[in-house]
Amino acid sequence: MSRRLENIKPERVFYYFEEISKIPRCSFHEEKISNYLAEFGKRQGLETIQDESLNVIIRKPGTPGYENSPTVILQGHMDMVCEKEDSYEHDFSKDPLDLKVEGDFLSAEGTTLGADNGIAVAMCLAILESKDISHPPLEVLITSNEESGMDGAKGLDPKNINGKILINIDSEEEGKALVSCAGGERDLVTIPIQWQSLDNKEDYMMYSIKTSGLQGGHSGMEIDKGRGNANKIIARVLAFIKNECDFKLASIEGGSKTNAIPRNGLALVALQREDEESFLREVKKLEGQIQNELKVADPDFELAVEKVKNKVEKVFTDDSFNRVIAALTLIPTGVQSMSMDMEGLVESSNNMGIVKTKDDAVTIESAIRSSHQSLKANISMKIRIIANMVNGKWESHGAYPAWELKEKSDIRNIFKKVYKEQFGKELEIAAIHAGLECGLFAEKFGGGIDMISFGPNMYGVHSPQEKLSISSTQRTYELLSNVLKEIK
Please list the active-site residues: 79, 146
What crossing angle do the helices spanning 318-330 and 373-389 adopt, rounded to 10°? 170
Q: What is the rounded (10 degree) CA torsion for 323, 189, 254, 312?
A: -50
What crossing angle do the helices spanning 276-293 and 230-242 adopt, rounded to 10°? 140
Nearest in space to 367 (alpha carbons), one of 402, 396, 338:
396
CA distance 139 to 124: 10
Report the sign of the C-alpha dihedral through residues 209, 210, 213, 217, in that order: positive
> What type of residue is 427?
L
Transcribe 207-242 into DSSP letters: EEEEEES---EETTTSGGG----HHHHHHHHHHHHH
> What type of residue is 277?
E
Burial class (CB in 10 A: 0-12, 13-18, 19+), 376: buried
Cβ contacts of 112 within 8 Å, gap of 6 or more: 80, 81, 82, 83, 84, 461, 462, 463, 464, 466
CA distance 195 to 20: 46
Element (H, E) at 289: helix 276-293
CA distance 105 to 293: 31
CA distance 130 to 60: 11
Burial class (CB in 10 A: 0-12, 13-18, 19+), 396: middle
Which DSSP state fits 143? E
